[in-house]
Structure 1
Amino acid sequence: MTSELSEKIVKQIEYYFGDINLSKDKFLQEETQKDSGWVPLETMVKFNRLKQLTTDYNVIIDALKNSTSDLLEIDEENLKIRRAKPLPENLSEFETNLKQNTVYVKGFAPEMTLDDLYSFFDQHGKVLQIFMKRFPATRQFKGSVFVTFETQEQMSKFMELEELKHNDQTLTKELQEDYLKRKAPKIEKIKENKAKKEQQKLEKFKQQQEAEEAYLKEQQISGAILHVKNLPEDATRESLKEVFDNFGKVKYSDYNKGQIEGYVRFSEENKAKEVLEKADEIKMKDRVLELRVLEGEEELNYWKEIIKRLSASKNRSFKGGRKQKNDRKGWNKNKRSLNDDKNENENEKTTLEGDNNKKLKTEDA
């Protein structure tokens, strides 16, 4: 193992367990709570950037044993690691200090990698974190970064540099605080647009809900449901409907094959009562059917169940239609691309508000 690889492994793992990442990484926090802070190497080697470096446990352990930071400790079997010191007690104060030590730098070439950036900024002090700004749709590096130094002194020295270049390309720099002030109007506009879209979405949902409730209410007809008992074993929905169509238009026969009872729903109000009053005797396969009209609470409860079924059916149809539409557009072929395909303003807002650390699993140092 080369010393360069060893340094990269240590740097990467110490980033995972460092103050900045561990204080916000929900996934890693949950892992540390399972076994007194210990995290198996089996879990660690699934993290993308470490996996790109190595998945060999021995290589990882050997590299960590050469670390001088005392941030991590290794278990006796060389299969687990954990943070050896507690996180900052006052996270609010900690985050404030981080912001004060963070600068914004732009002008890098789009082909720059995270490793390239660390190599460049490490010349100016200990770097705790680099956040690369990217275009949402393509994930292409925009050439600008937020860099957090370990101390305010390091940050100040960096900002005092009269000229800053990378490969003959002049870079511009400013404090994160100044950057945020300069971008404040844009941030506010993004927030307003988002609030407006959320309001429009809410209004559209209410309209859809009202339309659905109106539709379902139209389906409810008073005095139209007839309970039918003593059905023959070979009865079907179609045969049940056929029998009662002779007395009035049947909208639906609610019946499960093999049962001895079911329901007939007529299209006209009070038609069930009318059929019961006028029909002397109704038979199916020589069986005299026992009939009664649903009334009062029993009728109300039955309609609630019918409306519940209709609502579920409409939702399934809508979702099925939407899925087919999405498939036609090819959206389901690449969900990551779909989620990333937000406008540039949304990406700017996420970056400016420091929300980039809200992820389930650590990926990059």
Structure 2
Amino acid sequence: MATPSLSEDTAKAVLRQVEFYFSDSNIPRDDFLKKKISESEDGMVSLALICSFSKMRGHLNLKAVKADDVPEVTLKAVAETLRTSSSLKVSEDGKKVGRSTDLLDPDEMIEQLDSRTVAASPFEYNVQREDVEAFFGKYAKVNSVRLPGHVTHKKYFCGTALIEFSAEEDAQRFLEQSLVFAGAELELKPKKDFDALREEEEEAADVGDYDSNVEEKYPKGLLVAFTLKSISAGDSQEQNVSDELTKEGATGSEQKTTENDNDSKEKIDDKHKSTASVYKDDMNVVLREDLKDVFQKFGTVKYVDFKVGEDKGYIRFDAPEAAQKARAAAVLAKEGGLVVKNFIANLEPVTGDAEREYWSLLRGNQEKHRENKRFQSRLLRGGKHYKGGKHARGRENDSSRGRPNKAKRSGSA
């Protein structure tokens, strides 16, 4: 029964929170609390210290107080509440709290914990722990729910929730279920599979720490891959746009040849420069500007990696949170994705090898571009400083060596 100092709701929240702190679910991975327990002769911890934890301060409406500053009346009320627990014990003076049972071997505890834990995804970036717990709690008793952060951006939820059930049998049963949360079908897998993937991501994130020549570090969680599908017929963006651009004479790199192939190509090149203005209001042609307009509502869009006429591309945000918001919105949308003109953009996260390869190719292209600029700069400096004499080179030679594309076009005209 709640004491007069704590409301019923507060007493329930406090009891549940402290029981979790000392539970088999938390102790194995809570190094701080585990250390405090091991340092105590009776295995109990200062109740004032427990009340100074951030979640407890929230339940008790305390400000950012230290353990020594927790009000005495609050400690007494919490102690009385905790005495109703079957898994906790409180000292006679109400100053300390601990487990009512001894700790198992840490490795054994973790093994048991993992056996009854299921990894479920995807969840929206701002999902609440209580909502996930209530959802799974309809089917079986849930001990705890964890929302781990990204490997390199800990403060951002990674999209996979870890649900610990009270029994291993319940966890095994859930792995065979087909469940839908907030409109998204959940992928359920054992925690050991999640841990294995996590380990790979951590190793990839650490690459470069010990040898800068192996691979540069790259930002994580900023990319979203998309595929465009026609709303009306389910056709791809590439097919529809290619046909349309062919009629107008402006297309990407896969334009079909005509009888006057060279003349047609020159017209295509000219038309391609004004594609954005020509197709701005065409609902059957998606431009980079159209994609940016849709995605920038979730955060700052750094770049839209997309060519007109294709059905796939990437959105590069400046923060992982923006990418998560976009993916969550696509999952929750009744259309099954984000609407871009007459198309639906289906989104996929870009992680692991795919993410690393993307940044590697991008940096490689940037380096090639910088090298080309340096090369052309050296040629220009050579032409300026070595006119005449044995080092002189004709203007034709400079043009052909420094501007190969232009020379090639001139030769084929």
- Which TM bucket (shorter chain)? 0.3 to 0.5
TM-score normalised by the chain length of structure 1: 0.47
Which gives a bigger RCO, structure 1 or 2 (Cα 8 Å, sep 6+)? Answer: 1
Query: What TM-score results when the alignment is normalised by the length of structure 2?
Result: 0.42
